[in-house]
Amino acid sequence: MKNITINQKEIDKFSKLAEEWWDPNGKFKPLHKFNPVRLDYIKKSILKKFKKKTKDKSLNNIKILDIGCGGGLLCEPLSKLGADVIGIDASEKNIKIAKTHARKNNLKINYYCASPENFLYKQKFDVVLNMEIIEHVENVNIFLKESSKFLKKDGVMFIATLNKTLKSYIFAILGAEYILRWLPIGTHDWNMFVKPDKLKQICKNNSLILDEVHGVKYNIFSGDWDLSTDDDINYMAKFNKV
């Protein structure tokens, strides 16, 4: 199958920044700040969902596929929690950085340069992650269809992305990129943002039923991200495979 979900412009954009993935004060500083809240949410959700597999409160028996893994910011802490983690990314530079960093930390994580439609892997996973990736792909419908095939029945897919609202344009693009310069200008394209209702329908068409949606909000005073009832800008959604 051709690389029908890869947006080469987006791949090139992040490949140029690949060397900075693990610099907490570099271009990916906002993602480093965002990482604790999404990691905590994923961990707690997995422990709740797979109670029989996680009796020791670790993720030892959980198989996770991180799609669009970047430099491995989520793969590594999940691996340290005991999960069997595989990360894929369409950028060779991202995968090279991820592999190098994992080796330095003696972590057994398998990384592959691939997109979901050309990832030839027969094993299915308990959990599939699509975190901060669907707003950068060419065809969200096909991307999620191809991603869902890797989930076991009753498995869980986590998706984090940006809502397509006026508020997200003002804060996530004008504010974060042009005014505060938290992100390089051009990091996001508002036209590629996805409303929760649209995401819910796309996933439903691919045997993924919405479990819950949480907004994720930045606290300007503490500098931390927290779950919120406000999903107008950033949000995370959890889907069950049926």
- pLDDT higher than threshold 80 for residue 1: no
Helix (H, G, I), strand (E, B) or coil at 60: coil
Q: What is the average per-residue pLDDT within 51-76?
A: 95
**Class of 8-163+191-241 in CATH:** alpha beta
Mean pLDDT over the full length of the chain: 95
How is residue 42 annotated by DSSP?
A: H
Specify the pTM.
0.95
CA-to-CA distance for 200 and 92, rounded, in angstroms?
31
Helix axes 140-148, 196-204, angle to 10 degrees: 50
* 116-131 per-position pLDDT tens digit: 999 999 999 999 999 9
> Which percentage of the chain shows pLDDT scores above 70?
99
Predicted local distance difference test score (pLDDT) of residue 92: 97
Residue with tokens 């707003």: 135
| DSSP three-state, residue 6 | coil
pLDDT at 159: 98
pLDDT digits (tens, 9 = 90+) for 168-202: 999 999 999 999 898 999 999 999 999 999 999 99
Contacts of 188 (CB under 8 A, 6+ apart): 135, 162, 172, 173, 177
Residue 56 has pLDDT above 60, yes or no: yes
